[in-house]
C-alpha cells in the first residue's frame, strides 16, 4: 500500500487560509468516507483534527475543515494562528482492514 500524496509544505500569514491536499486512489480515499487528518507538533504525538472526511472531534476549532472530491481529500485551516504551525497527515481506510497515511505536510505560519 503506497502512502497517500501530500505537498511537502504549505504556508500562510496569520489570519489567512491554507489548504492541504491528500491524493490517493479509488481503493482508499476515493472509495470510502473514512479520511482523517492529524496535527503533529515537533516531538509530540499526533492529534486527530478531522475524521470521516469532514467531522471535527470535540475541542477542535471550527477553523479546521475537511472535504473530499474523487480521490483527493483536503484540509483547510482558516484564520491561521501561530499555534497551527505543525506537520499535518491525512489517513484513509483501504478496505482490506488496513489504513494508510499521507506523506505529510509542514505548515508554516509566516
Residues that bind another protein (CB under 8 A): 1, 3, 32, 34, 36, 38, 40, 45-48, 51-52, 57, 89, 91, 93, 96-104
Measure the CA dihedral 32/64/1/103, to 10°.
160
How far, rounded to the nearest angstrom, does the alpha carbon of residue 107 sit from its chain's CA centroid? Answer: 11
Nearer to another protein, 46 or 63 (CB): 46
Least separation in angstroms between residue 94's CB and another protein is 9
Task: Measure the CA–CA gap between 31 and 70, rounded to whole angstroms.
Answer: 8
Other CB atoms within a 10 A radius of the CB of residue 91 amount to 23
Nearer to another protein, 51 or 77 (CB): 51
Least separation in angstroms between residue 27's CB and another protein is 14
Task: Report the side by side order of strands in the sheet with 72-77.
Answer: 18-23, 72-77, 64-69
Nearer to another protein, 45 or 110 (CB): 45
Nearer to another protein, 14 or 44 (CB): 44
Amino acid at each position: 500500500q503506497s502512502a497517500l500524496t501530500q505537498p511537502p509544505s504549505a504556508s500562510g500569514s496569520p489570519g489567512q487560509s491554507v489548504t492541504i491536499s491528500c491524493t490517493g486512489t479509488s481503493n482508499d480515499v476515493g472509495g470510502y468516507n473514512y479520511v482523517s487528518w492529524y496535527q503533529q507538533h515537533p516531538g509530540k504525538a499526533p492529534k486527530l483534527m478531522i475524521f470521516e472526511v469532514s467531522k471535527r472531534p470535540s475541542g477542535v476549532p471550527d477553523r479546521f475543515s475537511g472535504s473530499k472530491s474523487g480521490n483527493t481529500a483536503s484540509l483547510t485551516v482558516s484564520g491561521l494562528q501561530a499555534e497551527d504551525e505543525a506537520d499535518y497527515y491525512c489517513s484513509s481506510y483501504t478496505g482490506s482492514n488496513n489504513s494508510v497515511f499521507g506523506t505529510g505536510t509542514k505548515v508554516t505560519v509566516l
